[in-house]
Amino acid sequence: ADVYGIRNWGAGYFDINDNGDVVVTPILSNRKVSVSIPEVIAGIKERGFDMPVLLRIENILDSQISLLHESFRAAIKKLDYKGKFRGVYPIKVNQQEQVVDEVTRYGQRFHHGLEAGSKAELIAALAMLRDKEACLVCNGYKDQEFIDLGLFATKMGYKLFFVLEMPSELDLIMSRAAYLNIRPLLGVRLKLATQAGGHWTESGGDRSIFGLNTSQLVEVVDSLKERGMLDCLQLLHYHLGSQIPNIRDIRSAALEASRIYAELVKEGVKMGYLDLGGGLAVDYDGSHTNFTNSRNYSLEEYCADIIETVMETMENAGVDHHPTIITESGRALVAYYSVLLFNILDVSRFEAAPVPETLPEDTPEHLVNLLDVYKSLTLKNMQECYNDAMFYRDEIRTGFRHGTMSLRERALGENIFWSIITRIAKDARRLKHVPNDLKDIHVALSDIYYANFSVFQSVPDAWAIDHLFPIMPVHRLNDIPSRQGILADITCDCDGKIDKFIDLHGVKHTLPLHELNGEEYYLGVFLVGAYQETLGDLHNLMGDTNVVTIRVHDDGSYDFVRELEGDTVADVLDYVEYEPKVLLEQFRRTAEEAVRDQLITATERREIMEAYEAGMRGYTYFER
Q: Judge whether 157 and 134 are in contact, CB under 8 Å.
A: no
Q: Report, in Å, the least distance between residue 280 CB and ligand PLP.
A: 5
Query: In what helix (H) or strand (E) does residue 365 lie, and over which residues does it extend?
Result: helix 365-376
The span from the first CA to the last CA of the chain, in angstroms, equals 33
Tell me whether residue 282 or residue 421 sits nearer to ligand PLP (CB atom). 282
Q: Report, in Å, the least distance between residue 284 CB and ligand PLP.
A: 13
Q: What angle do CA 452, 457, 463 make, to 5 degrees?
A: 95
Tell me whether residue 209 or residue 494 sits nearer to ligand PLP (CB atom). 209
CA Rg, the chain, in Å?
A: 30
Tell me whether residue 9 or residue 302 sits nearer to ligand PLP (CB atom). 302
- The rounded distance, in Å, linking the Cα atoms of 96 and 103 is 11
Q: Report, in Å, the least distance between residue 243 CB and ligand PLP.
A: 6
Q: What sections of 402-484 are H helices per DSSP?
A: 407-428, 436-439, 455-458, 460-464
Q: Judge whether 91 and 115 are in contact, CB under 8 Å.
A: yes
Tell me whether residue 25 or residue 243 sits nearer to ligand PLP (CB atom). 243
Tell me whether residue 114 or residue 538 sits nearer to ligand PLP (CB atom). 114
Tell me whether residue 236 or residue 371 sits nearer to ligand PLP (CB atom). 236
Tell me whether residue 56 or residue 189 sits nearer to ligand PLP (CB atom). 189
Q: How far is CA 619 from CA 51, 97, 153, 212, 497, in A?
A: 9, 22, 41, 47, 21
Q: What angle do CA 489, 490, 493 make, to 5 degrees?
A: 80
- The rounded distance, in Å, linking the Cα atoms of 502 and 524 is 14
Q: Report, in Å, the least distance between residue 85 CB and ligand PLP.
A: 15
HEC secondary structure over 500-524 = CEEECCEEECCEEECCCCCCCCEEE
Q: Report, in Å, the least distance between residue 129 CB and ligand PLP.
A: 16
Q: How far is CA 306 from CA 110, 144, 275, 492, in A?
A: 19, 35, 11, 47
Tell me whether residue 447 or residue 461 sits nearer to ligand PLP (CB atom). 461
Q: Report, in Å, the least distance between residue 5 CB and ligand PLP.
A: 22
Could you count the other beta carbons within 10 Å of the beta carbon of residue 143? 10
Given the residues 135, 232, 303, 492, the one annotated as active site: 492
Q: Report, in Å, the least distance between residue 11 CB and ligand PLP.
A: 16
For ligand PLP, which residue has the nearest CB?
278
SS3 486: strand
- The rounded distance, in Å, linking the Cα atoms of 35 and 31 is 13
Tell me whether residue 337 or residue 418 sits nearer to ligand PLP (CB atom). 337
- The rounded distance, in Å, linking the Cα atoms of 235 and 1 is 50
Active site residue 303: no
Q: What angle do CA 323, 61, 292 make, to 5 degrees?
A: 75
- The rounded distance, in Å, linking the Cα atoms of 162 and 615 is 48
Q: Report, in Å, the least distance between residue 115 CB and ligand PLP.
A: 6
Q: How far is CA 536 from CA 118, 281, 360, 533, 622, in A?
A: 19, 21, 55, 6, 18
SS3 529: coil
- The rounded distance, in Å, linking the Cα atoms of 280 and 265 is 27
Tell me whether residue 136 or residue 530 sits nearer to ligand PLP (CB atom). 530
Q: How far is CA 575 from CA 172, 531, 571, 579, in A?
A: 36, 21, 6, 9
- The rounded distance, in Å, linking the Cα atoms of 107 and 604 is 58
Q: Report, in Å, the least distance between residue 279 CB and ligand PLP.
A: 5
Q: Report, in Å, the least distance between residue 240 CB and ligand PLP.
A: 9
Q: Can you give the binding site for ligand PLP, defined by CB under 6 A?
A: 90, 93, 115, 139, 203, 239, 242-243, 277-280, 328-332, 530
Closest C-alpha to 490, from 341, 346, 611: 346
Active-site positions read 492
